[in-house]
Amino acid sequence: MSATVVDHPLAGHLLLALRDEATPPALFRNLTERLTTVLMLAATKDLPTVEKTVKTPIEEATGRILAGPIVIVPILRAGLGMLEAVVELFPEVRVGYLGLERDEATFKPSAYYAKLPQMADAVTFVLDPMLATGGSANAALTAVKKSGAKEVRMVSVVSAPEGVEALEQAHPDVPVFTASIDRELNSNAYIMPGLGDFGDRLFGTDA
């Protein structure tokens, strides 16, 4: 499946503020949570629902609720910046964690931590702010599928064409939701124009 760029005025407004190198970590975290909310609303808009009737203080009312559970799996550490927004939207969400680090010479990811919940009965969302080469996302998607996930969606703040193409080749069944598909990767596999190292900016650590 091809990537869906969430073309919403608020998404564009928040993304540009994230790109600004003058944005301090505290505001960067706040902007990330707000943008994640916009992205998740787009990524969940077609989730299946079932009818349910409740009793109001006045009378019965019928509406629709989500048909099944949701799982979110942030890729550590930058994906943690997207976690709280999803938990606020879906308080009963199941949360898993995947720790992946990139070899700076080969740009290949290696896993250092994995803790995943039951996923076979749920829709699983993998959260990674930067979809660059697609290596980490590919590894994460492979891991959740091996752990039982049947329906999986990828949510990223910024993506590179190379990363999107890599996922289309490796996981054509996984839709990608992102605020932007940027121009390209540079020689260090950073997204251009991108917004720098997401984790460093999120946590105020040195690059």
State the fold for domain 3-49+65-203: Rossmann fold (3.40.50)
Position with higher pLDDT, 101 vs 178: 178
Residue 197 is among the residues annotated as catalytic for this protein: yes
- The arithmetic mean of pLDDT across residues 146-163, rounded, is 96
pTM score: 0.92
- Element containing residue 88 per DSSP (H, E): helix 80-89
- The answer to whether residue 207 scores a pLDDT higher than 60 is no
From 7, 103, 106, 121, active-site residue: 106
At 82, list the tokens.
């997207």
Question: Quick one: pLDDT at residue 103?
Answer: 65
- The answer to whether residue 77 scores a pLDDT higher than 60 is yes
Residue 206 is among the residues annotated as catalytic for this protein: no
Mean model confidence pLDDT for the chain? 92
Task: Give me the residue spans of the domains in the chain.
Answer: 3-49+65-203
- The arithmetic mean of pLDDT across residues 156-168, rounded, is 96
Residue 191, strand partner residues:
185
Question: Quick one: pLDDT at residue 138?
Answer: 93
- The answer to whether residue 201 scores a pLDDT higher than 70 is yes
Question: Quick one: pLDDT at residue 110?
Answer: 74
Residue 44 is among the residues annotated as catalytic for this protein: no
On the 0-12 / 13-18 / 19+ scale of CB atoms within 10 A, 79 is: buried
Rg over alpha carbons for the chain, rounded to the nearest Å, is 17
- The arithmetic mean of pLDDT across residues 7-23, rounded, is 96
pLDDT in tens, 95-127: 999 988 766 666 677 778 889 999 999 999 999
- The answer to whether residue 21 scores a pLDDT higher than 70 is yes
Question: Quick one: pLDDT at residue 1?
Answer: 58
Residue 36 is among the residues annotated as catalytic for this protein: no
What is the sign of the dihedral through the CA atoms of 135, 174, 90 and 144? negative
Beta strand spans in the chain (E): 3-5, 49-55, 60-66, 70-76, 94-95, 97-102, 109-115, 123-127, 130-131, 151-159, 176-181, 184-185, 191-192
